Amino acid sequence: MILIRAVYFTDNGNRIADRLKEYFYVEGKPEDISLADWTKDTFEMHLPLIFIGSTGIAVRTIAPFVTSKLKDSPVIVIDELGKNVIPILSGHYGGANELARLIAKNLGANPVITTATDLNNVFAVDVFAKKNGLTITDKSLIKQVSAKALKGENLDIKQTDDDIIIEGLRLIPKRLILGIGCKKGKDFQELKDLVNTVYSDEELNENLYAIASIDVKAEELGLIKLAEFYGVPFVTFSAEELQLVEGEFEESSFVKDKVGVGNVCERSALLLAGDEGLLVKNKVAKDGITLAAAKRTKIYYVW
């Protein structure tokens, strides 16, 4: 389930927001906070932001908070009749284009995509980086790669075990996976506080590939929000899949009775790490949350 924040200004907009709740977790703007402060918080949390209204209102509202195409929240505008869904910020790396298509499909609306690489169906290096969990080392070179792709020219690509270089733009695989288990209802801040006892936000922004857990936690809002904060996928596995992971793990009979497997955090992190993955942080536990970390050593690119 995807968590989005949405704001509307009319009764028609309210109806569109209600329709979105059929497909997404939707957080609306509380009445006791200004639109500007709420938008600022949304950008700081890196959450998708949906304006149901005019693009003018959206542009004026987000303008003070726009900083980097690699860090800004994806921002989408939906007209109040739900006819058009328009991504206006972070279309590629932030995922606004992909989210706009999903919203449009669910609403029966028209996705209005304006990025040249999408319109011409050519390779977009920032989409490639997002899809494969790669750090873009120099965002100024994205335009150079896109321009060459749009001209139909062959791209110079060099691939090693440590990176991939496209037209001089170096992309570095993110290798760290956090495996997390938790009691129901643990909120974002509780989860983040434990994570930050092991890794700083700077380390995670550079190295975190994904967050993993068990499928019964697939709709745990705190975990979803944590993954969106770090801009990474939240991947879950069944108890049967986790039970097949080989290794020595700190098992809990209580957890096994509850979810069908005695260790979630270590097993899920290692399973997502894939072939030759390494457990780099054994289970730590606090206040109903367990955390472990694994490193992926084999990188497979999806083109």
Mind listing the pLDDT tens digit for each residue in 185-234? 999 999 999 999 999 999 999 999 999 999 999 999 999 999 999 999 99
pLDDT at 263: 97
- The two tokens of residue 11 are 């009764």
In DSSP terms, 7 is beta-bridged to: 51
pLDDT in tens, 2-23: 999 999 999 999 999 999 999 9
- What's CA 167's distance to the chain center, in Å? 26
User: Per-residue pLDDT averaged across 159-186, rounded?
Assistant: 96
Question: Which neighbouring-strand residues pair with 88?
Answer: none
Q: Which of 165, 179, 194, 147 is nearest to 255 (CA)?
A: 179
Query: What average pLDDT score do residues 52-68 get?
Result: 97
DSSP secondary structure string for all residues of 93-135:
TT-HHHHHHHHHHHHT-EE----HHHHTT---HHHHHHHHTEE
Q: pTM of the prediction?
A: 0.95
CA distance 164 to 67: 26
Give the C-alpha separation, 175 to 15, whole Å: 42
Q: What is the pLDDT of residues 100-119, one digit of tens each?
A: 999 999 999 999 999 999 99
Q: Strand, helix or coil at 289?
A: strand
Answer whether residue 161 shows pLDDT above 90: no
CB proximity list for 201: less than 8 A, separation 6 or greater: none
Strand order from edge to edge, sheet including 49-52: 25-28, 3-8, 49-52, 75-78, 84-89, 110-111
- Domains of the chain in sequence order: 3-114 (3.40.50.11220), 122-173 (no CATH), 176-295 (3.30.420.180)
> Which residues is 285 bridged to in the sheet?
290
User: Model confidence at 123, in pLDDT bands (50, 70, 90)?
Assistant: very high
Please report which confidence band the pLDDT of residue 259 belongs to, taking 50, 70 and 90 as the band edges.
Answer: very high
